[in-house]
Chains A and B, each alone.
Chain A
Amino acid sequence: MTLLDTLRTALKAVISYRIRSVLIVLAMSLGVASVIILTALGDGARNFVINQFSSIGTNLLVVLPGRAETAGAFPGAVLGQTPRDLTLHDAQLLGRLPQVKRYAPLSIGAAELSTANRLREVTVLGSNENLIPIRHMRLALGSFITQGSERSAQIVLGAKIAADFFPHNPAIGQRVRLGDSRFLVSGVLASQGESMGFNTDEIVIIPVDYAQALFNTTSLFRILVEANNHGEIAATKQAILATLKQSHDGEDDNTVITQDAVLATFDRILHALTLAVAGIAAISLIVAGILVMNVMLVAVSQRTSEIGLLKAIGATSGDIRRLFFTEAAWLSLVGALLGFLLGQLGSLLIRILYPQFPAWAPTWASAAAIGIALITGIIATTLPAIKAAQLNAVAALNRK
């Protein structure tokens, strides 16, 4: 029997037993589709997080006071000691490091923003002119707090605050009060919405020294540092720690978070999660495989007299084995391909419904799902096919 005829004959049998075939193909395809959709979700989550991180800025290092490693959940409470504050002087020292391209000190607090007829409490960021490039922010109007702005009290408003306070006339050039001080509106941020849990539409930004005066403090909340290039992140981190240690009388009381480290952790966690859901979904493929085995065993016993007849008209055991194998292979193949299409369709649907969520199934997952479907289908048919081939022809013919 030629290969082509084997394929054709088996396909005919698949089509003849319509309901049985549809059910198996369905089980197989749902298994494959669930692997693809679940890995698309997992990998989508991973890419979503990576995208969020790169929206904060690449080559970014964040310096915060306190040692996260020893202090656990409470950085700053090292063995009862109060860590030394980060100061503007520390930030300036970091700015002189050769590996550092630019830095932005960050002071944060809340204050009352008011005009003649409006008043509300807002989140205030104190920083310098580098905040915009480091955080990849954009201005909608005007200019950002400029270098040397210590002398001119400028303020940049978040998009929503600008719209709330100055709904009818342009905000630029207007005077506002923040706390007890007067500021001149120099710019308005472009609306960006949430970025890592921080709504930049509802903040105001003022020069860092004004912020420190406003909050009556000399300490900084964070120092954002941008390294010259990505390959130097680790070296930059070491240099920052060394500089701060020296500045803090030999106390190693600061933490530097690199984006890479956080990203790598998320990447690892989410990749593991993807693998886990893929594994769970793959179980449904094994179940589908067992279903194929069961159905093919039933097929062998239902078609015993057919097998006897095939032997009587000259089929070898090999022919019979191949016919049953091919039948199962068709079922698995059609199931796998249909499942692949369903899975891609499902992922597409998720992408359409949630455009920010890049739900693409990784290639390895699609390939593995199809591969496992085919392999379990074929392995599951081994036993039934061997059973069919070993049937005694006379006994098979006499079976009703």
Chain B
Amino acid sequence: MIRLIDITRTFTMGEQTVLALNQINLQIASGEYLSIMGPSGSGKSTLLNIIGLLDQPDSGQYELDDKAVTDLTEIEQAQIRREKIGFVFQSFHLIPRLTAAENIELPLTLGGVPIDERKMRVQNALQAFELEQRANHRPAELSGGQRQRVAIARATIMQPSIILADEPTGNLDHQIGAEVMLLLENLQHQGTTLIIVTHDRELGSRANRQIAMRDGKILTDQTRDTP
């Protein structure tokens, strides 16, 4: 359960102040499938980063699972990111010198999971995302779709309750993008909250709940009755 109350985030660039988020109020239930759409610069990424505790609002209250998280320490926030949140990025953000398996293993290593259990879970993830043949390949040796599958495997390896995807298909062609969307939606079917930022209307309309943003404000918030 995500609850944002009057969240405001401003950026200062020299003399100018940009109101990236302007008093956002938003509540997202566990297991929801939500898409955030809007033109470039409307504040979509900033909203996602605040939900993912990568960024701090200037004012407002953020409650995650009925707990105020805005004032938690840096270490506590890192722990929430590690255990409850999985990020998927447009540019994949794989570490180039590590193999696919090592990239997927990274959150487990950070979480201090014992090595035997790590190997087992990575093996399962490689299987689930059809990457077994690519386990020992470095990102440079993988196709775009394979890279994003590695990134999704990494985002889900800690079994987070929330997946945050910022334009996950932005760097993929249509066909591969659709496959990646199916993978993410599959996770949502299993109970994970899925929040996707996109400016592709067609992709956005697949979500049960669709939010449109402009100039740091939520313009519309529509929920489909039938899934």
Contacts and interface: CB of A to CB of B under 8 A. Distances in A.
B153 to A, nearest CB: 12
A343 B158 CA distance: 48
Given A312-B54, A317-B74, A306 B95 contact: yes
Contacts of A196: none
B110 A397 contact: no
Interface residues of B, number: 27
A13 B55 CA distance: 28
A316 B78 contact: yes
Contacts of B81: 311-314
Nearest to A393: B54
Interface stretch (B22-30, B82-90, B120-128): B82-90
Tell me which of A1, A12, A316, A317 has the highest count of chain B C-beta atoms within 10 A of its own C-beta.
Answer: A316
Contacts of B93: 305, 308-309, 312, 397
B75 A318 contact: yes
B78 A5 contact: no
A9 interface: yes
B107 interface: yes
Nearest to A389: B74
Contacts of B10: none
A289 B93 CA distance: 31
Contacts of A397: 54, 89, 93
Nearest to B45: A394
B89 A314 contact: no
A311 B78 contact: yes
B83 A314 contact: yes
A147 interface: no
A235 interface: no
Interface of B is mostly: helix
Interface string A382-400: 0000000000011001000
Chain A contact patch, size range: 20 to 34
Interface string A258-277: 00000000000000000000
A12 B49 CA distance: 30
B186 interface: no
Interface string B38-67: 000000000001001011000000000000
B109 interface: yes
Interface string A1-40: 1100100010011001100000000000000000000000
Interface in A211-253: none
A1 B107 CA distance: 9
Given A311-B54, A314-B78, A314-B79, A319 B110 contact: yes
Contact of A313 (B75, B112, B154): B154
Interface string B142-169: 0000000000001100100000000000
Contacts of A312: 52, 54, 81, 87, 93
B112 A1 contact: yes
Nearest to A316: B78
Contact of B107 (A12, A308, A314, A393): A314
B189 interface: no
A228 B49 CA distance: 89
A317 B110 CA distance: 12
B106 interface: yes
Nearest to B82: A314
B111 interface: yes
B97 interface: yes
Interface in B82-120: 82-83, 87, 89, 93, 95, 97-98, 102, 106-107, 109-112
Interface string A97-119: 00000000000000000000000
A352 interface: no
A310 interface: yes
Interface string A291-328: 00000000000000110111111111111000000000
Contacts of B87: 312-313
Given A16-B97, A308-B93, A314-B79, 6 more contacts: A12-B98, A311-B81, A313-B110, A314-B107, A314-B110, A315-B110
6 contacts: A2-B112, A13-B97, A305-B93, A306-B95, A314-B158, A319-B78
Interface of B: 49, 52, 54-55, 74-75, 78-79, 81-83, 87, 89, 93, 95, 97-98, 102, 106-107, 109-112, 154-155, 158
Top 4 closest pairs, chain A to chain B, by CB: A314-B82, A16-B97, A316-B78, A314-B81
